[in-house]
Chain A
Amino acid sequence: NAGVTQTPKFQVLKTGQSMTLQCAQDMNHEYMSWYRQDPGMGLRLIHYSVGAGITDQGEVPNGYNVSRSTTEDFPLRLLSAAPSQTSVYFCASSQHAPGGSISYEQYFGPGTRLTVT
């Protein structure tokens, strides 16, 4: 199994450009999520999905869109990049969504380092 894969590994954008960060998993996990990691802050949830066709917002969703047309893929779209979106982005998956007093082991992709100038 490849686990969770992300592309690209690095990306530089100009302000106002759009792009899609790709995320795929081959573990048949229901739950997928996108986080951003900024210096001095913990990972923050951008968007998540509990299954194909179902997505929801996390704590920092503004400026990002997601879709989940298949179980395997969960792309993150930046609509109009801003310097505040300079960050490292991680995609993660787990067997099921956390909640109901149950958590699940999280599997993370290698990350995408995005710089917006």
Chain B
Amino acid sequence: KNEVEQSPQNLTAQEGEFITINCSYSVGISALHWLQQHPGGGIVSLFMLSSGKKKHGRLIATINIQEKHSSLHITASHPRDSAVYICAVLPGTASKLTFGTGTRLQVTL
């Protein structure tokens, strides 16, 4: 079993829908990252959080440390949000990130 599990693996939504991507992990962590990988392959950092909630534009990331769970929400989704969203965690005693396998999102018109 992977230390980091993402769900769903694939998601198709219509433009304007509210989207939620989930990340669950099995170990205590110091921090969690959300990354976005566009179809061209480039990876960009969206959020890094260790508690609570962060918002940037239409993106919101939340984390519940006790539940070992994080969610990435996209409000008013748009086709340009189509990408793979990757969750990564820094286990509490580790010095390297552990990555989930990603959630592939397609937003259609």
Contacts and interface: CB of A to CB of B under 8 A. Distances in A.
Interface of A: 33, 40-45, 48, 58-59, 88, 90, 92, 97-99, 101-108, 110-111, 113
A26 B90 CA distance: 25
Given A42-B98, A42-B101, A105 B45 contact: yes
Contacts of A42: 2, 4, 86, 88, 98-102
Contacts of B80: none
A108 B43 CA distance: 6
A106 B35 contact: yes
Max count, chain A CB within 10 A of own CB: residue among B2, B40, B90, B94:
B90
A103 B101 contact: no
Interface of A is mostly: loop
Contacts of A99: 90, 94-96
A97 B95 contact: yes
24 contacts: A41-B101, A42-B86, A42-B88, A42-B99, A42-B100, A42-B101, A43-B86, A88-B41, A92-B43, A98-B95, A98-B96, A99-B94, A101-B31, A102-B31, A103-B90, A104-B48, A105-B33, A106-B33, A106-B45, A107-B45, A108-B43, A108-B45, A110-B41, A111-B43
